[in-house]
A and B are shown apart, each in its own frame.
Chain A
C-alpha cells in the first residue's frame, strides 16, 4: 500500500497527462475544438502494486492506457518510467522499453491474428525484439503457455480452436513473453463469461505474485476493480476525480460521483433491493467535446453550487493517500477548498446516503 509522500521511486509516474483529439468542421475543415479525452491526469504506480482505473464510457481511461504504452502520442504532460522521461521518446529508443510495458486487450477474439498459431503469436515478441532464448523460442513459449494454464502441447493450434477464456490466456501469455515489469490491462475480463472472468482474474493475481508484476487495470466494473486493485482512481470526463486505497475508496468514498457509481452497481442480493439507499444520477455522461466548465460533474451532481460552476476543484489529499477533487466531499468533516460556503444543497434533491453534511 502506498502512502504519501512516496518512499520509493515509483515505477510509473504520470504528470498532467493530456490527449486532445482535434475536431474539424466547416468547408475548410478548420479545427473548431478538441475532444479532451484525457485532460491533466497525474498518478504514480509503485512496483508490485495494482492501480485500478475505473469510470464510465468517455472518461478517458482507455486513452490513458494507450498513452502510457505510447500507442498514441500525448498532447501534453509527462510520463516517466523507472525515473526516465519517456513522453516523447523516439520509436528506436522506445524499443527496449516496449519489453517492459505490455498491454492486455479487451477482446480476445479480434486481438489475436486468426492465421497464426499460438506458438507464433506468443513467440512473436521474441522474434521482434531479437531475443536469444536458452533452449529456443519453442521451449520458452511452451513454458509461458504452461504458466498461464494452457496445455503446452497446443503450441501448433490456431486461436479459433480455443474458447474465449483460453484466448484471453493466450493474450496474457503474449504479454508475458518478454518478462515485462508493467502490464496495462484494458478491460481484461469484460468480454468473458462470468465463470471465465473469475479464472482470468485469479490468473492475473497469481502471475503478479509469481513474477512480481505491476498492473494498471482499466475497467468499468467496480466489483472487479475492487477485487484486483490495491489503489483505485476514478475518472470522469478526462480527469481523475478521486484516488485512494481500495478500502478507503470503497468504504468511505468522498467524491459524489464515486458515491453515485457505487450506489448504481446492482447488488446480487434480492433481500436488499428494497432497503438500499440509492443515488440516481440524471442523464448520461456529457460529451467530452464540450465538457462542462469548472467541476465537470456539476451538471449531474446533487450537491453542486455556484462555486462548482466557476472554480475547478483541485485534486487534493483530504486524508492520507486519499485524493479528491470536490468542493463538497462526502465522508469528510473539514472544508476542502477553504472558500466554500457551508450551505446545504440549495433546493436540490436531499442527498441520500450516509454522508455527513458539509460543514
Chain B
C-alpha cells in the first residue's frame, strides 16, 4: 500500500514535469520551428505599441529570447520554483516564487492575479460538482432500478438533452428566465466572497452552479445507470439478497459501491479540469474566474498569463488524478495489491 502511494506520487511529479515541458514547447519551441523570430516574441510581449524596431530587438535580447531554448526553459522553471526579477525598463519588478511570469502588457505579475481569480472558480467548481454528483448518481441509480419505466425514459431523455445542449444556450436561457423575467436569481456579473457573506455567495452562484451541473449530471446519470445495471446483475448481489438483506442495503452497500469506480475516475478528471476555469460558464455569467481570465489573456495574446493558466490547470488535473488513484485503493481492496 505504501509502495502504491509512493509510486503514484512519483508519477504525479513526473507528470507535472512533462506537462511543463510540453507547455513550454507549445508556446516557445513550436513557434520557433514555424519561423517566428525572437523579435516577434518581444513584439508580442510588449504589445508593440509605438516601439521602434531597435527597441524591440534590444528588448528581445534583454528578455532572453535569443538564448538557447534549454536556457529559456530553465529560467522559466527557476522562476516558478525560486522566483525571478523582471526589468520593465522603468523599474525592476521582483516576482516571488511561484513566479509564473510577468505580463508586460498589463504590467502585472501573473501569480497574484491567478490567486485573485481562484476563489471564484473553486466556488463554482465545488458547488456545481456537489449538485451534479448528487443529482446525477441518484437519477442514474433510480433509472437502473426501474429500467424501461417512464421515469427511466424521461430521465434519460433529459440527460440526452443535457449532454447535447451547449452551456451558453442553457446558461442564457436560464438567465433570461430566472433572473430577468422572474427575478429570483442573481443576474450574473456578480461574485461575493464566501468569507464575507455566505448567503450572498450562494445566491450569486446558484444559477451558474445549476447550469453547469445540468451538463455534468446528465453524463453522470448515464454513467451511473450503466454501472448499476452491470453490478446489479453480479453474483454477489444475488448473494446479498440471499442473506436476507433489505433491498436498500443491497442497492447502496453492495450495488452502488461496485458501480462507483468509473464514476470516481471521471469525477476526479472533471473537477480537476473545472478548477482550471469553466470558460463557457464564466463567460456566460460574466464571473471573474480563471476561465474568463484565460479568455482575456488569449484575446490579448498575453503569453505569460496563458502559460500560467495552463500550468495551473495541469496542476489541478494531475492532483485530481492522484487523488482518484488513492481513492481507488480505498474503494477497491484489490488495487492495493499492485
Interface set of A (CB-CB < 8 Å, partner B): 25-27
- In the bound assembly, the distance between CA atoms of A94 and B10 in angstroms comes to 44
- The tally of CB-CB contacts under 8 A between chains A and B is 6
Does B90 reach chain A (CB closer than 8 Å)?
A: no
> Smallest Cβ distance from B10 to chain A, in angstroms?
8
Does B3 reach chain A (CB closer than 8 Å)?
A: yes
Interface set of B (CB-CB < 8 Å, partner A): 3, 6-7, 10
- Chain A residues near B3 (CB-CB < 8 A): 25-27
What are 6 A-B interface contacts by the 8 Å CB criterion? A25-B3, A26-B3, A27-B3, A27-B6, A27-B7, A27-B10
Interface of chain B: mostly helix, strand, loop or mixed: helix
> Smallest Cβ distance from B325 to chain A, in angstroms?
15
- Chain A residues near B10 (CB-CB < 8 A): 27
Report, nearest first, the 6 A-B pairs whose CB atoms are least far apart: A27-B7, A27-B3, A27-B6, A26-B3, A27-B10, A25-B3
- Chain B residues near A26 (CB-CB < 8 A): 3
> Smallest Cβ distance from B226 to chain A, in angstroms?
21
- Chain B residues near A25 (CB-CB < 8 A): 3
> Smallest Cβ distance from A116 to chain B, in angstroms?
27
- In the bound assembly, the distance between CA atoms of A26 and B7 in angstroms comes to 9
Closest to B10 in A: A27
- In the bound assembly, the distance between CA atoms of A25 and B6 in angstroms comes to 13
> Smallest Cβ distance from B262 to chain A, in angstroms?
24
- Chain B residues near A27 (CB-CB < 8 A): 3, 6-7, 10
- In the bound assembly, the distance between CA atoms of A27 and B7 in angstroms comes to 6
- Chain A residues near B6 (CB-CB < 8 A): 27
Closest to A28 in B: B7
> Smallest Cβ distance from A23 to chain B, in angstroms?
12
Closest to B2 in A: A27
Closest to B338 in A: A25
- In the bound assembly, the distance between CA atoms of A27 and B10 in angstroms comes to 10
> Smallest Cβ distance from A29 to chain B, in angstroms?
9
Closest to B4 in A: A27
> Smallest Cβ distance from A27 to chain B, in angstroms?
6
Closest to B6 in A: A27
> Smallest Cβ distance from B13 to chain A, in angstroms?
13
- In the bound assembly, the distance between CA atoms of A25 and B2 in angstroms comes to 12
- In the bound assembly, the distance between CA atoms of A26 and B4 in angstroms comes to 9
- In the bound assembly, the distance between CA atoms of A27 and B6 in angstroms comes to 8
> Smallest Cβ distance from A234 to chain B, in angstroms?
32
- In the bound assembly, the distance between CA atoms of A33 and B143 in angstroms comes to 48
> Smallest Cβ distance from A189 to chain B, in angstroms?
24
- Chain A residues near B7 (CB-CB < 8 A): 27
> Smallest Cβ distance from A77 to chain B, in angstroms?
31
Closest to A26 in B: B3
Closest to A25 in B: B3
> Smallest Cβ distance from A33 to chain B, in angstroms?
15
> Smallest Cβ distance from A352 to chain B, in angstroms?
36
> Smallest Cβ distance from A261 to chain B, in angstroms?
29
Closest to A29 in B: B7
- In the bound assembly, the distance between CA atoms of A83 and B307 in angstroms comes to 67
> Smallest Cβ distance from A117 to chain B, in angstroms?
30
- In the bound assembly, the distance between CA atoms of A27 and B3 in angstroms comes to 6
> Smallest Cβ distance from A24 to chain B, in angstroms?
10
> Smallest Cβ distance from A275 to chain B, in angstroms?
36
> Smallest Cβ distance from B337 to chain A, in angstroms?
10
> Smallest Cβ distance from B114 to chain A, in angstroms?
34
